Amino acid sequence: MQCTKGPEARIREMFSKVELSVSSYETAWVAMVPSPDYPHQPCFPECLNWLLENQHPDGSWGLSPRHPLLIKDYLASTLVCVIVLGRWKVGKEQVKKGIDFLGSNFGAATDEKQYSPIGFDIIFPGFGIGGLLLIVVFETHSAFSYLDAPEATEKTAAALTHLHDDKCFEYLHSLLKRFGNAVPTVYPQDIYTGLCKIDSLERLGIDRHFKNEIKNVLNQTFRCWQQGDEEIFSDITTCAMAFRLLRMNGYDVSEDALSEFNEEEQFFNLARGFLKVTDMILELYRASQCMIFLRETVLEKLNSWTSRFLKQELSDNALNEKLHEEVDCALKYPYASLERLENKRNIEHYNVENFRVLKTSYRWVKENRLDQLKFARQKLTYAYFSVSSILFSPELSAARMSWTKNVVLTTVIDDFFDVGGSREELVNLIKLVEDSREIDIGSVYVAVAYFDQINGGRGGMEEVVRSPEYNSLLKHMNICGRLLNDVQGFEREGKEGKMNSVLLYMIHEGGDVTEEDAVRELRGMIERSRREVLRLVVQRKGSMVPKACKDLFWRHVEYFIYFT
């Protein structure tokens, strides 16, 4: 039957669903559980049947599709599946094929390049192939007894086997009722999958269409965070992602939650045996960028070792193509994520309007004869497409036009002071501005009109634009932009005989500091202002600047970081 729902409706529907893939490894553990009434029969025979029907052609069990770096996972899954079939004396042919797979791939057990699943080093410590097969064929029950069960489903199966706990039975029964004849690694919960959906929507730039759904997920996650819910704090990736999304959306969460990961050695002790270690570290790195206070030592330490580790992974070329690109982008543009510049679908979405507005902007440039100023750089196209990465909503077309004109005029004035005007002309222009009594009223009026549009035309913006909060946002955003530009261009400008913040700082310090010291000091100022902007943006209590307007300041900072 043809689907009649649009993409927006289907995405909304996804918020009420949680999808997890089943695991042959976990299903085997459940199939191992004996019936409490008939110990010589399985408690969950449907799981046993699933194992018989889902062996791969090469004799293994495990993830599908196959991945060349996950042989240890297939070894672990296949070993447990063979143990289970051997215990219940079924599937003679499947057992034989499984043993053949174990024998032909046993060398991968000591291959350090292979990812190691949880519990692998317990199942395969120092066994030769003969000893391994002896366990498989003759010692299945004792093998099960000493295998550690680090995941939720495994632990429950082991507890049900040895403790005959009714709650364990109910848990496994509920999994099978939901998933059929097999089980996932953990019971499906809403937190991690909900956070992933929010993260994806934000990355695609369509989160504004799902504000209510996102708010509901974040509110629920914050309640679980405050209660110390194990689902968040027992999983490194979930904890890091929850911290990042909660803090970036204005929830009061402390860096202390990540303190056990702020040292590299501590992290690897906790993460030993996990498959996707680099993915975890990338998520921790993203969380470490959410610093909003001057001293956040946990996040600073976390940022230091995670960035160093990820750079080494890139240098070693140890990542698959997709992850390599993701890590490379995260390291190149810290604190900045202008996804629309990198996502072809989103760019295509705005092509028609972009060219239409560019034509309108070009007419404005021609009408004001700005194109005839030979000393001025022509930045019209750059100006418009740069603002499209910040103000991308269709309803903000007029704001994009205003931004474009502002950038063009600012570039003309900048070039006029640099190369186009004589000293007399520059003095006259400065005097004209200083003598204008309308300038303050005019600038406030423009800001009021501009931010009123950003805020959906609700009005009441004049008081906001005059507030200390607004002026602090403006001040620290401009510090980031000015100093980032100066740090990048001070060598070129110095050769041209121009002054900028780096050179002025060296002069102010009496010539006692080097260029390197000056750049380091200015980068510290940039970082402090960046944190202050982010703190003001995520602040809820006592804030009078609407969130939509505050977000614009943060996008400006991201823009400055991305392009300088």
What is the per-residue DSSP string for 279-344?
A: HHHHHHHHHHT---SS--HHHHHHHHHHHHHHHHHHHTT-S-HHHHHHHHHHHHSTT---GGGT-H
CATH number for position 297: 1.50.10.130
Q: Look at residue 443 and tell me if it is in a domain.
A: no
CA–CA separation, 226 vs 129, rounded Å?
A: 49
Domain boundary residue among 435, 457, 485?
Answer: 435
Q: Look at residue 9 and tell me if it is in a domain.
A: no
CA–CA separation, 552 vs 399, rounded Å?
A: 11
CA–CA separation, 305 vs 281, rounded Å?
A: 9
Domain boundary residue among 341, 376, 399?
Answer: 341
Residue 43 clears pLDDT 50, i.e. is over it: yes
Whether residues 207 and 331 share a domain: the answer is yes
For residue 42, the 8-state DSSP code is B
Whether residues 258 and 352 share a domain: the answer is no
CB 389 within 8 A of CB 559: yes
CA–CA separation, 421 vs 459, rounded Å?
A: 40
CATH number for position 95: 1.50.10.160
Q: How far is CA 458 from CA 363, 466, 473, in A?
A: 31, 17, 21
Query: Which domain covers residue 332, as residue numbers?
Result: 190-341
For residue 114, the 8-state DSSP code is S
Calculate mean pLDDT across residues 385-403.
74
pLDDT on residue 147: 32
Whether residues 232 and 306 share a domain: the answer is yes
Whether residues 399 and 489 share a domain: the answer is no
User: Which token pair is 532?
Assistant: 């202050």
Q: Give me the residues paired with residue 34 across strands.
A: 42
pLDDT on residue 209: 83
Whether residues 84 and 199 share a domain: the answer is no
Q: Look at residue 273 and tell me if it is in a domain.
A: yes
Q: Look at residue 372 and tell me if it is in a domain.
A: yes
What are 311-326's pLDDT values in tens digits?
Answer: 998 988 878 888 888 8
Q: How far is CA 550 from CA 287, 370, 404, in A?
A: 20, 32, 20
What are 528-548's pLDDT values in tens digits?
Answer: 999 999 999 999 888 998 888
CA–CA separation, 1 vs 141, rounded Å?
A: 49
What are 337-380's pLDDT values in tens digits?
Answer: 554 544 443 334 344 444 455 556 666 667 777 677 776 677 77
Q: How many domains does the chain have?
A: 4
Q: Look at residue 1 and tell me if it is in a domain.
A: no
Whether residues 138 and 210 share a domain: the answer is no
CA–CA separation, 489 vs 512, rounded Å?
A: 21
Q: Look at residue 2 and tell me if it is in a domain.
A: no
Domain boundary residue among 341, 359, 389?
Answer: 341
Is there a cis peptide before residue 36, judged by omega within 30 degrees of 0? no
* 3 state DSSP class of 447: helix
Whether residues 302 and 361 share a domain: the answer is no
What are 53-84's pLDDT values in tens digits?
Answer: 999 999 999 877 677 878 888 888 898 899 99
What are 471-521's pLDDT values in tens digits?
Answer: 999 999 999 999 998 998 888 877 777 788 888 888 888 878 888 999 999
Q: Look at residue 206 and tell me if it is in a domain.
A: yes
Whether residues 65 and 129 share a domain: the answer is yes
CB 398 within 8 A of CB 453: yes
Calculate mean pLDDT across residues 35-58.
91
Whether residues 410 and 348 share a domain: the answer is yes
Which of 472, 527, 89 minimizes the C-alpha distance to 299? 527
Task: Please report, as a single letter, which amino acid is at residue 218.
Answer: L
The dihedral region occupied by 164, where left means phi > 0, alpha psi between -120 and 50, and beta the remainder, is left
Whether residues 348 and 337 share a domain: the answer is no
Task: Count CB neighbours of 169 within 10 A.
Answer: 17
Bigger pLDDT: 511 vs 289:
289
Q: Look at residue 405 and tell me if it is in a domain.
A: yes
Whether residues 256 and 287 share a domain: the answer is yes
Q: Give me the residues paired with residue 42 across strands.
A: 34
pLDDT on residue 149: 34
As to burial, measured by CB atoms within 10 angstroms (0-12 exposed, 13-18 middle, 19+ buried), residue 84 is: buried
CB 314 within 8 A of CB 327: yes
Whether residues 200 and 312 share a domain: the answer is yes
Calculate mean pLDDT across residues 247-270.
89
Residue percentage of the chain with pLDDT more than 70: 75
Task: Please report, as a single letter, which amino acid is at residue 365.
Answer: V
Bigger pLDDT: 210 vs 414:
210
Beta strands in 64-147 (DSSP E): none
CB 148 within 8 A of CB 117: no
pLDDT on residue 497: 76
Q: What is the CA radius of gyration of the chain?
A: 30
